[in-house]
Each structure stands twice: as structure tokens, then as C-alpha cells.
Structure 1
């Protein structure tokens, strides 16, 4: 359970980095594996930051390891779906989170939370790093 916005992004990133290391996502001598880990950490930062900015912070953060990769889930209390901002210059800060998800995640989306829980879950999936 994750509540609030204070240091939540760094806590979720740290948790993710530890889990990926435990799961062997950082093969010795593999830059590709390290780059994929950085992709996952950036994606975690994006979805957790969006929950902070648009929904009062995440309520739950879940990592699921699968045979093909990892799934990240961030639950929040807002029922508003993620919406892209109007196109803007990449040189301007902010408003690029969903573009980052589109480019780095294998798949992503959102689901309305089940009975008894208000809000939604934003999820993303990232494939395993390729082995040399």
C-alpha cells in the first residue's frame, strides 16, 4: 500500500530497482540489460508521478514478474482515464508522460478498479532485456 505523494516516486523506483536486480534483469557485462532497467525505472517514475499530479498520489504499487517481462500497476482514487496533452514541443518540460509510455512500454493501459474500490489502475508491461 502506498499513500500520499511525499517521496513516493523515489520509493517506488528504489523498490523496482531492487526487484529487477533480484530477478536477474541486470546481466553482468550487458549494456542492453542496464538500458532496459533504466527504461523500466523511467516508466515507473512517469506513472507514479502522474498519479501524484492528477489523483492525489498512488494508493497501491504492484510489480509482477512474468515469463516474458514485468508488469507495473499503479492504482489511484481517480476514475479519470489517462489523457494525452495536446501536441507540444519536446523541448518544453512536462506533458510527455504518455508519449514515453507509448515509446518504451511494450503495452500499457488502464482498468477501472473492481467492486468496493474507487478509481483506476494504470498498468504497463515491459519485455525482458535481450541476452547477448
Structure 2
């Protein structure tokens, strides 16, 4: 199997993901530098999965959306839950699921009504606008929650499809 240079090709680095997709986990502690580390980890996964680099503007926009969603979810965990425990990325078919796990076992409380002209309270609103689906799941062992968002790939792009010959 030859792997093309990701800096010069729009072809996926991984010719095909397994049917169950691929999972990437990043264990985290504290809050200092956490958002940047999560963005770097996500950017590397997007390169490995063939989302980046790309000349396709739709694909580039979705990759930018993914990075912004990661930043917002991790920032919320840093501000409101003492920092995230883990970032989980799961690519399968035409969907990328982003999960940020934190130790605070309380439901999300988006600021409503959303007030665009006021400072603060915009993170979850942006996630709702950018993600195809999003939500949270309360966890019991260990206690905490998973805040997740799913991104659909642009039509015609499937990370499990092999590249054209």
C-alpha cells in the first residue's frame, strides 16, 4: 500500500476505514493548554483520515467546523467542569462524532434565550448551528458526562470509501 503525501494530495491517507470506523482518544488532565492540544490532536486525525488538506471548499469548511466544535466543547469543560478527562473522535462512514468527557455529572444548561449581543453563552449555540446533531449523556462509572456532537461529511465524501484510482 502506498501512502501519498498529505500535503500535496486530496486523496485519503487511509484508503478505507474498517466498517466500525476508527476511534481516537486523548486522555487529558487540567486546563492549561488543553484546548490547543485537543485541536492539534483533532487536526492530526483529520489529516490521517484524509479530510485535510483539501482543495474542496465544502470539505475544508466541515474540517474548520470540526476544529471549532472541539474548541467550544473543550473550553466549556475547562470553564464549567474543572477540565475535560478525555477527547474521543470516532470516524465512521460519512459521520465524525466528537465527544468531550468531563467529571461533572450535571446536565448541560445552555443559556436561554440566546443573546447574540451579550458576552458569553455562545459556545453551545455555535455547536448547535455547526453540528449535524449534538447533546450530552450523563455517565455513572466514573461519574461525569459526555458532551457530543456529530458532523456529517459533505455529500459525496465518505471516509470509508477507497480513493479513486
Question: 2: CA distance between counterparts of 1:12 and 1:95?
Answer: 21
Aligned match of 2:150: 125
Compute the displacement of 1:131 (Å): 4.6
Question: 1:69-84 counterparts in 2 under 5 A?
Answer: 69-84=95-110
Question: 1: CA distance between counterparts of 2:58 and 2:118?
Answer: 28
Compute the displacement of 1:79 (Å): 1.0
Question: 2: CA distance between counterparts of 1:97 and 1:20?
Answer: 22
Higher helix share: 1
Structure 1's unaligned 5+ residue stretches are none
Question: 1:9-24 counterparts in 2 under 5 A?
Answer: 9-24=35-50
Question: 1: CA distance between counterparts of 2:145 and 2:129?
Answer: 22
Structure 2's unaligned 5+ residue stretches are 1-26, 158-165
Runs of 4+ in 1 over 4 A off after TM superposition: none
Instruction: Supply the RMSD in Å over aligned alpha carbons.
Output: 1.6
Aligned match of 2:60: 34
Point out the structure with max Rg over C-alpha. Answer: 2
